[in-house]
Amino acid sequence: MRVLEAVPFTTVMDHFARQHPYDPQDGANSNDEAEGHIRNAQAALRGRWHRVLLDGPEVMRVVLPWHLGEDGEVELIPRTGLTVADAARRLTRLRAAYAATNPLCAAKLARQAAAPPLPLFLSTVPMPGPDYEHLAVREGLIHLDGLHRMLAWATAGRLAPGRWTPAYVAGLAPADVRHGAGHDQD
C-alpha cells in the first residue's frame, strides 16, 4: 500500500458524490447503499481516512461482503464473505450460467471490465448491517464501495503486480502510515 495523504471526510464524500451519483429512477443504482457504508465507516472509525494506492495483489485480497448478485438467482458471495481473488475464481466458474441467472450483476461486471480505475472505498473493519455481520474475516481491507469494479478488473486480468488502484481507506492505524505519505507500506 502506498499511503498518499490523510484526507477529511468531506473530501471522501465529495469525491464519492461526483463519481457515483445516486439515481433513484435507476434500479441498478445502489450508490445510496454504498454511501451508507461510507457514512458508517466515518462514524465507526472516527474520521481517519487516507487516500492510498493499492497494488493489484493487494486489491485481490480485499474482503467482499455478502452479495446476492443484484437479486439474481445465484448468490455470488456468501454471508461469510470472500476475497476478491476467491470471488473472481467463483465468478469465472459460473461465467456462462451467471449472465443468464444474474443479468443485472453480469451487466454491471461487463461495464466495469474496461472502465477507468475509479477509486475504491474501503475500511479496515466490517461495518454494521446484514451484509457484513457474518464476515469470517474481521480486519484487513474490507469493501465499502467498488465490488463490481474489483471483480471485473480481477476477471479481466487488470489486478497484476505493479498496477496501482486508487482508494480511500477508513481506519488505518498510525502504524500503517508511520513512514509518511507516498511511501510503500509492508
Average pLDDT over every residue of 23-52: 78
pLDDT of residue 32: 65
The pLDDT confidence band at residue 7, using thresholds 50, 70 and 90, is very high
Mean pLDDT for the chain? 87
**List of E strands, 35-163:** 49-55, 63-64, 82-83, 120-123, 142-145
The pLDDT confidence band at residue 20, using thresholds 50, 70 and 90, is low
pLDDT of residue 27: 54
Average pLDDT over every residue of 44-48: 86
pLDDT of residue 55: 97
Comparison of pLDDT for 31 and 82, the residue scoring more: 82
> If you ran DSSP here, which 8-state letter would residue 138 be given?
-
Report the distance separating Cα 8 and Cα 40, nearest Å. 15
Average pLDDT over every residue of 67-75: 82
The pLDDT confidence band at residue 186, using thresholds 50, 70 and 90, is very low
Comparison of pLDDT for 151 and 105, the residue scoring more: 151
Please state, in angstroms and as integers, the Cα–Cα distance from residue 153 to each residue in 63, 118, 158, 159, 167, following that order.
Answer: 15, 11, 5, 6, 14
Average pLDDT over every residue of 122-150: 93
pLDDT of residue 70: 72
Report the distance separating Cα 169 and Cα 127, nearest Å. 13
The label of the residue with cell 458524490 reads 17
Contacts 24+ apart (CB under 8 A), 172-179: 172/3, 172/48, 172/50, 172/52, 172/124, 173/124, 176/1, 176/3, 177/3, 177/6, 177/50, 179/3
pLDDT of residue 133: 94
